A and B are shown apart, each in its own frame.
Chain A
């Protein structure tokens, strides 16, 4: 980018803090978002105590949580429970999974896979990380303002969100307003990132790397970037409108004659709470695919590499992902069947929702068929990728009853919904992302992560993921609402309390199961077994670069001679043909 010759010998700050190198930025994103993931998960471990043992003091951390979250005895307050719930959702989605999947993996791996020296706009790339970081710090700061963090759910539905968090120095210094400001920063960050990704993928591919020779992961990032680019701005618009409502007392989302606690609200009125829901879900449904697609991409890479054969139906996968991207823009109102928006609307969105399930099933089927008759290498990343398939399938299939407007009447806003989307995002996406960490770790550090610790991480995580989320289906089918501070106040809640406790113990177990990973992640960086540039015997271009890749990535600019997954080619010297080696040297 710059013709600045000082860039050859940068100091510590410009090399590791304000770096323009996509690899350093990718690592920054990865580490930051893993920390946010664990933090967001910790909030949930606290909430699970209140759910399992309602009204009992929180052990260990109860005394540390402060007056906005717990009372004098260390019991979680209802308002505190709502804050933790809202912040858990926000942090996991916007500060954890998306930055890890796109900012972390996308930034590090994608330019290497297309043979590029860097992203197309290195300075934008750096700005994207630091705006994300500022957004994260802003979001966390809201725990300390009067009244505590935002407590209207991660969806921030008005009118509740307009009238919530009004103690303290309203309208500025309070949880919900800070939530909105932080969201604007995070949206800006993803906008900068997505522009960069699309230009990089279109413009910086090396010679010979046509679009249909791109690794599946790059395709997944490509479609994801379009979703981020086009779906986030409506949420930004909605955020600006809600900010106006809170700060300047407008009534975009306030209906005329709203009564709160017996008091008629003095607003000019004429607004519509449904407007927020439309704008919010116009982002948040494509956002679901932003969460899933990079994970599917990672799973595709790991499966091709560890089955030692081409991905089954590569082009079908690519077309499915593109179709999924388009369709994800026309399904948003299936989150709103029960808002009274009308049966005609419900019918339309029910139909599109059924249609979008088709490419999802095609993708999953293609990945499953890739395993058929393969001699699978059960490496640690492969274990994660394999566990992704059935758990993502459970998540997807349990979504169908929610997408049908009739069965949604029973299931809407119950724990069944929580179980459904967590199966997609946690046992699905997060397991795939963890697999990705194990898979590309040797490329980033030049060392492998410990296999023993990897197994100690995988097996308990796999068991506990299901222990946490499967009982939620039973709790939800029994009719327990998803946002209750104490569900045992209801008859249906008492009956399923055993399942709730099982979920909670599963969550704490899952927390413990991450310890081997944390140890493995940091210690392997200097104690792991040293490996060469291509330890997995993979074919894609990132393995043509040294491990770790130097500034500028490749010793000499590679040329792509073939598609991404040329494994087990008959009559070849080895069972894999890297993309960058000419035919004359492999046959």
Chain B
């Protein structure tokens, strides 16, 4: 590789209107849609096959689910604020909002694990209890792993990766934007998961 950046690392390509990273993240998200789409399809097929309980018969508490939905949507807002602050050349504020996003996501994970998974396991409800709980653990668990991945990436930009800001502000801001795109997607998946499991 030459010491220069590859074309369109920073500037948008005239046809796609995106820089390389952003285009890449959109493609990655398309693939993620297929992943979760397959799981939602599996849910539908299993629901038509097995005797799925309605939400009133399950141990799923929609109030906890609603609180978590609120936390995630808020974290999406703070994520945008973080990107906007970096874009407006205010790294202090950007980092603050990024920290708030991390805290909100950790709160989501804490509530999910402590008050939902642990509670159910305590009541002897595990994935093998029924196909409904199996797909519940599987899909929310996979979503939780996506949240965890996002937190790791944000912590990277807040600590080890923060030096890039001083070297190349635009590249750093672009990376925050890409993280944000991913984050909104993870948020969106939850917005589908919540009604499917807690309300139907």
Contact = CB atoms under 8 A, between A and B. Distances in A.
A191 interface: yes
Interface residues of A, number: 55
Contacts of A278: 45
A19 B8 CA distance: 22
A263 B132 CA distance: 25
B20 to A, nearest CB: 5
Contacts of A393: none
Contacts of A267: 128
B28 A1 contact: no
B200 to A, nearest CB: 17
Contacts, number: 154
B196 to A, nearest CB: 15
Contacts of B138: 240-241, 244, 250
Contacts of B9: 1
Nearest to A6: B3
Contact of A121 (B5, B20, B30, B50): B20
Contact of A202 (B23, B37, B134, B135): B23
Interface stretch (A226-234, A399-407, A467-475, A490-498): A226-234
A278 B49 CA distance: 15
Contact of B1 (A2, A202, A269): A2
B199 interface: no
A271 B31 contact: no
B13 A8 contact: no
Contact of A268 (B3, B6, B129): B129
Interface string A225-265: 00001111110111011001000111110001000000000
B1 to A, nearest CB: 5
Interface string B107-131: 0000000000000000000111111
A2 B168 CA distance: 11
Contacts of A196: 24
B181 to A, nearest CB: 13
B1 A7 contact: yes
A120 B3 contact: no
A233 B130 contact: no
Interface in B29-46: 30-32, 34-39, 41-42, 45-46
A552 B28 CA distance: 26
Contact of A203 (B23, B41, B45, B142): B23
A214 interface: no
A25 interface: no
A376 interface: no
Nearest to B13: A203
A282 B9 CA distance: 34
Nearest to B9: A1
Given A241-B42, A272-B49, A275-B46, A7 B3 contact: yes
A198 interface: yes
Nearest to A272: B49
B32 to A, nearest CB: 7
A493 to B, nearest CB: 37
Given A121-B24, A195-B24, A233-B32, A250 B131 contact: yes
Contacts of A3: 3-5, 167-168
Nearest to B22: A199
20 contacts: A1-B1, A2-B1, A3-B5, A116-B6, A116-B7, A121-B24, A194-B27, A194-B31, A234-B35, A240-B39, A248-B127, A248-B134, A249-B127, A252-B131, A269-B131, A272-B45, A278-B45, A279-B42, A551-B2, A552-B1
Query: Which 3 A/B pairs are nearest by Cβ-Cβ distance?
Result: A270-B50, A250-B134, A233-B35
